[in-house]
């Protein structure tokens, strides 16, 4: 009997220890029952099916923690800056493009305390000082199958070669320059993207400019999709989600995956939020396996939890970017270069966008 | 006294933000004229500023030419037809500019309605979308009500018996129109033209969706400075430059309009 009692005591101690450990060490996707009752969190993202999918992914978190989740958007760094400067931050968790958390780390976005998050399942190299990934997708070269027939473009070098591949090009003109595209353009100009300097940005932009006056700079993802579906552009740089939808809708386009540009939306906590721990709890829940599966199923974007196995049909899975093959083909922009040179690049890119 | 609520509102929603913009253009990142020096030292800014005025002028001209006969027709028909004509102006006016711009995308694009009709008639297609022409067409349509309504309100006050009198005195219809009707209707033309011109200067969505790089207007550049680069000072300076240039142009045009106005009143 004594022994039994000892056993039980042992188990009890062990369980208590585990519980204590669990409390100090967060597990992605988990939140304590009722822990945020009476609290409100405002989550900011880009709207559309993307934010709907994120909200669906967070439903479990909301139900369990008892938090009231408000949605706002779209993310505008200028708006966030105004909130931080006035000391009245109403955005608790913000989804951003890939560069801002690096450019404004510590100024607009909090440096993350990684003891409050379980980042063990996030794909390698994606956790930043001020952000965790929100999802992955890609920018991919899509080409008109009928136009190019047996000799399709295979790389960005072909995209920039209007001699060998005549036709109208469509480029992301929605605002900020795509670092990866400029690096590919710089390669065409004979440079080495790894050793890029500020002066080289002009060389890269010149390559884009040389595509000529027929080049279409699309302003929205919807427009890029529409350009493929109507066949107006022969080669397009497209976000994978839009590429998939266009093909689903009957666009006779195919992807050239070589050097597709890796894009990672980011999740951040602004400086000056009222309840930092509540924001962390949301982030941690968002990173969970189940949440990421729901997100991928609703949006077709690639989950950022290595264990996630979303159930998607073939048309969607063809555009997921986390397969070993795609990971090998992907091209990651030179972050170290673009972060400090973000403003210069933006200025030069804007001049191109304004017809200069 | 009666004007007080409107005055307070104007001061609050226009005066205060405007003052903030001017202040920030002079104080960020530090006090001085740096933002203005930057504006005038970048050729692209000047190109786009000039383009903004050129596009707005075209839009105003298109609006005047197309609104004039329409407004006249509204004064010449019976009440029932007038109601229909009025609704034709007002219903699109109530529809969001974004929606109307998107419908122009469908009409103007290379595989769009206009080009399919041209092709089926055996004529070649024309490039409309992502050109300045496309932007002018789209903006003119969005702004047309602002031209028609002031024109109509002036025209309906013109006594048509004057025209008959002129004709009975031997003037041909064209002569009667140019010496009687047109001068009397000019205040409406001026009022409408000024509203359309000023609204056109600040247009954002329509040139962004229908235009290409060569039809980018100043508002897009302001947006880049403020929203992507967080350069509120530069964005503010651009706004102030646009505002001041507009005031200067209006001041130059004012004497001409005033004399015409008086002339019209004298007749």
Which CATH number fits the domain that encloses residue B82? 1.10.3720.10
CATH class of the domain at A30-136+265-315:
alpha beta
Instruction: Give helix B79-94 / helix B43-76 axis angle, nearest 10°.
Output: 160
Q: Give A217's contacts in chain B (Cβ within 8 Å).
A: 212-213
Q: Give B228's contacts in chain A (Cβ within 8 Å).
A: 77, 175-176, 346, 350
Maximum CA pair distance of chain B?
A: 71
Instruction: Name the one residue in this structure whose structure tokens are 């409309």.
Output: B128
pLDDT tens, residue by residue, A48-83 = 889 999 999 999 999 999 999 999 989 999 999 999
What's the DSSP call for residue A144?
A: E
Looking at per-residue confidence, does B242 or A49 come out higher?
Answer: B242
pLDDT tens, residue by residue, B93-119 = 888 888 888 899 889 988 889 999 999
* Rounded to 5°, angle at Cα B48 from B46 and B54: 105
How many residues does the structure list for chain B? 267
Q: Chain B closest CA to A75's CA: distance in Å?
A: 10
Residue B58 belongs to a domain: yes
Q: Is A175 on the interface with B (CB under 8 A)?
A: yes
pLDDT of residue A87: 95
Q: If you average pLDDT over residues B24-33, what whole number do you get?
A: 94
Q: Give B130's contacts in chain A (Cβ within 8 Å).
A: 216
pLDDT in tens, chain A (356 residues): 455 555 665 555 555 555 555 556 899 999 999 999 999 999 999 988 899 999 999 999 999 999 999 999 899 999 999 999 999 999 999 999 999 999 999 999 999 999 999 999 999 889 999 999 999 999 999 999 999 999 999 999 999 999 999 999 999 988 789 999 999 999 999 999 999 999 999 999 999 999 988 899 998 888 899 899 989 899 999 999 899 999 999 999 999 999 999 999 999 999 999 999 999 999 999 999 999 999 999 988 999 999 999 999 898 899 999 889 999 999 999 999 999 999 999 999 989 988 86
Instruction: Name the one residue in this structure whose structure tokens are 């949006």.
Output: A299
Which has the closest alpha carbon to A242: A220, A258, A268? Answer: A220
Q: Does the bond joining B86 to the residue before it have cis omega, within 30 degrees of 0? A: no
DSSP states of B83-98: HHHHHHHHHHHHS-HH
pLDDT of residue B61: 98
Strand partners, A302: A136
Residue B13 belongs to a domain: no
Residue B21 belongs to a domain: no
Residue B197 belongs to a domain: yes
Is the Cα torsion angle A208, A211, A213, A215 positive or negative in sign? negative
| Cα distance between residue A212 and residue B103, in whole Å | 27
With CB atoms and an 8 Å threshold, state whether A355 touches B209: no
With CB atoms and an 8 Å threshold, state whether A356 touches B229: no
> Is the domain covering A138-260+321-353 a CATH 3.40.190.10 domain?
yes
> Helix, strand, or coil here: B236?
helix
With CB atoms and an 8 Å threshold, state whether B110 touches A347: no
pLDDT tens, residue by residue, B147-193 = 999 999 999 999 989 999 999 999 999 999 999 999 999 999 999 99
Which has the closest alpha carbon to A172: A230, A122, A269, A242? Answer: A242
Which has the closest alpha carbon to B238: B22, B58, B17, B57? Answer: B22
Residue B12 belongs to a domain: no
pLDDT of residue B260: 65
What Rg value do the Cα atoms of chain A yield, rounded?
A: 23
Is the CB of residue B200 less than 8 Å from the CB of residue B191? no
| Cα distance between residue A98 and residue A339, in whole Å | 10
Tally of CB atoms within 10 A around B53? 18
CATH 3.40.190.10 in chain A: give the residue spans: 30-136+265-315, 138-260+321-353
Buried b (16+ CB within 10 A) or exposed e, A200-231: bbebbbebbeebeeebbbbbebebbbbbbbeb
Burial category of A172 from C-beta neighbours within 10 Å (exposed 0-12, middle 13-18, buried 19 and up): buried
Is the CB of residue A138 less than 8 Å from the CB of residue A262? yes
| Cα distance between residue A81 and residue B63, in whole Å | 40
Q: Is A217 on the interface with B (CB under 8 A)?
A: yes
Number of domains chain B contains: 1
* Rounded to 5°, angle at Cα A140 from A331 and A254: 135
ipTM beyond 0.85? no
Q: Give A176's contacts in chain B (Cβ within 8 Å).
A: 228
Structure tokens at B47: 């190109």
The domain containing residue B248 runs over which residues?
A: 35-266
Between the CA of residue A44 and those of A92, A115, A129, B115, what are the distances in Å?
8, 24, 20, 41
Across the beta sheet with A235-239, what order do the strands follow?
Answer: A68-72, A40-44, A93-96, A253-268, A132-144, A235-239, A169-172, A216-218
With CB atoms and an 8 Å threshold, state whether B230 touches A76: no
Region at A149 (left for phi over 0; alpha for psi -120 to 50; beta for the rest): left
Tally of CB atoms within 10 A around A297? 18
| Cα distance between residue B263 and residue B259, in whole Å | 6
DSSP states of A245-279: HHHHTT--EEEEEEEEEEEEEEEE-BTT-S-HHHH
Q: If you average pLDDT over residues B203-224, what whole number do you get?
A: 90
With pLDDT > 90 as the criterion, what percentage of chain B qualifies?
69
Residue B4 belongs to a domain: no
Between the CA of residue B147 and those of B69, B93, B103, B136, what are the distances in Å?
11, 12, 21, 15
Looking at per-residue confidence, does B127 or A197 come out higher?
Answer: A197
């Amino acid at each position: 009997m004594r022994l039994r009692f000892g056993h039980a005591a042992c188990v009890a101690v062990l369980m208590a220890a585990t519980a204590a450990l669990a409390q100090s060490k967060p597990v992605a996707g988990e939140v304590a029952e009722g822990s945020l009752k009476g609290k409100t969190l405002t989550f900011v993202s880009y709207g559309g099916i993307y934010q709907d999918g994120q909200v669906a992914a967070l439903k479990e978190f909301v139900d369990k923690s008892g938090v009231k989740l408000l949605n706002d958007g779209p993310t505008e760094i200028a708006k966030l800056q105004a909130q931080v400067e006035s000391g009245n931050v109403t955005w608790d968790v913000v989804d951003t493009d890939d560069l801002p958390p690096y450019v404004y780390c510590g100024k607009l976005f909090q440096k993350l305390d990684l003891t409050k998050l379980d980042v063990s399942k996030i794909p390698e190299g994606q956790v930043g000082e001020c952000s965790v990934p929100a999802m992955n997708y890609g920018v991919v070269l899509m080409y008109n199958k009928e136009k190019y027939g047996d000799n399709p473009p295979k790389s960005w070098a072909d995209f920039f070669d209007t001699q060998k591949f005549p036709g109208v090009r469509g480029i992301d003109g929605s605002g900020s320059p795509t670092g990866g595209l400029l690096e590919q353009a710089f390669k065409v100009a004979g440079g080495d993207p790894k050793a890029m300097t500020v002066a080289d940005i002009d060389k890269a932009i010149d390559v884009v400019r040389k595509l000529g006056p027929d080049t279409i700079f699309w302003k929205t993802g919807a427009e890029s999709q529409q350009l493929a579906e109507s066949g107006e552009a022969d080669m397009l740089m497209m976000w994978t989600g839009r590429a998939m939808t266009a093909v689903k809708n009957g666009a006779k386009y195919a992807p050239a995956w070589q050097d597709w540009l890796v894009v990672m939306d980011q999740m951040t906590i602004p400086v000056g939020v009222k309840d930092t721990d509540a924001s962390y709890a949301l982030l941690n829940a968002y990173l969970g396996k189940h949440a990421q599966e729901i997100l991928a199923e609703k949006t077709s974007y690639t989950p950022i939890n290595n264990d996630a196995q979303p159930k998607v049909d073939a048309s969607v899975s063809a555009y997921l970017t986390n397969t070993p093959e795609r990971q090998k083909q992907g091209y990651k922009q030179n972050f170290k270069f673009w972060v400090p040179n973000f403003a210069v690049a933006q200025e030069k890119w804007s001049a191109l966008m304004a017809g200069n | 006294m009666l004007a007080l609520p409107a005055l307070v509102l104007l001061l609050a929603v226009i005066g205060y933000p405007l003052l903030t913009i001017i202040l920030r253009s002079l104080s960020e990142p530090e006090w001085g004229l740096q933002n203005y020096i930057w504006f005038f030292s970048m050729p692209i800014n000047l190109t786009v500023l000039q383009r903004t005025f050129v596009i707005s002028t075209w839009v105003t001209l298109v609006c005047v030419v197309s609104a004039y006969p329409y407004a006249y027709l509204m004064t010449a028909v019976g009440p029932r037809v007038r109601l229909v004509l009025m609704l034709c102006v007002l219903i699109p006016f109530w529809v969001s500019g974004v929606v109307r711009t998107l419908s122009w995308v469908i009409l103007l694009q290379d595989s769009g309605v206009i080009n399919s009709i041209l092709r089926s008639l055996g004529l070649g297609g024309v490039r409309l979308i992502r050109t300045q022409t496309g932007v002018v067409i789209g903006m003119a349509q969005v702004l047309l009500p602002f031209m028609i309504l002031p024109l109509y309100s002036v025209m309906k006050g013109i006594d048509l018996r004057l025209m008959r009198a002129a004709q009975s005195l031997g003037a041909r219809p064209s002569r009667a129109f140019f010496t009687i009707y047109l001068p009397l209707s000019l205040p409406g033309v001026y009022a409408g033209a000024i509203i359309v011109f000023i609204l056109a200067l600040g247009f954002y969505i329509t040139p962004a969706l229908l235009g290409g790089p060569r039809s980018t207007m100043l508002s897009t550049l302001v947006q880049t400075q403020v929203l992507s680069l967080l350069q509120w000072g530069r964005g503010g300076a651009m706004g102030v430059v646009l505002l001041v240039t507009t005031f200067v142009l209006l001041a130059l045009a004012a004497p001409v309009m005033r004399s015409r106005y008086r002339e019209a009143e004298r007749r």
